[in-house]
Amino acid sequence: MTDETVLDAKDLKAAVKSAYQYIKDIQDVMGSSLEALRLEEVELSEDEKTWLITLGYDVPVKNKSAFDAMMGPINTNRGFEREYKLFAVNASTGKVESMKIRQV
């Protein structure tokens, strides 16, 4: 991004809304509900053609130990893990072009 680049908040909001809507629309085929979905990162590509939007959400831990299962609501932090998706959103059209796993 150059010093002359001014991020347009309206365009950014539209890109974030597109990413949110995309993940909500495919949530049922992702295999789990998306708890605590929130915006994590935003970046405009160097060529200023693509917004890179990272959304994070909590998913239930698949291999909980017997102890964790027994603790139930007492130990809520260990029952979920944070996952991240990186969305490439076309800056001109606002259309989601890709969704990838974002490793942290």
Which pLDDT tens digits describe the chain residue by residue (104 residues)?
454 455 577 889 999 999 999 999 999 888 777 889 999 999 999 999 999 999 999 988 877 565 555 665 555 556 889 999 999 999 999 999 999 999 88
Backbone angles phi, psi at 8, to 5 degrees: -85, 115
The pLDDT score that the predictor gives to residue 74 is 55
The pLDDT score that the predictor gives to residue 56 is 97
Among 101, 72, 96, residue whose Cα is nearest residue 86 = 101
The pLDDT score that the predictor gives to residue 47 is 95
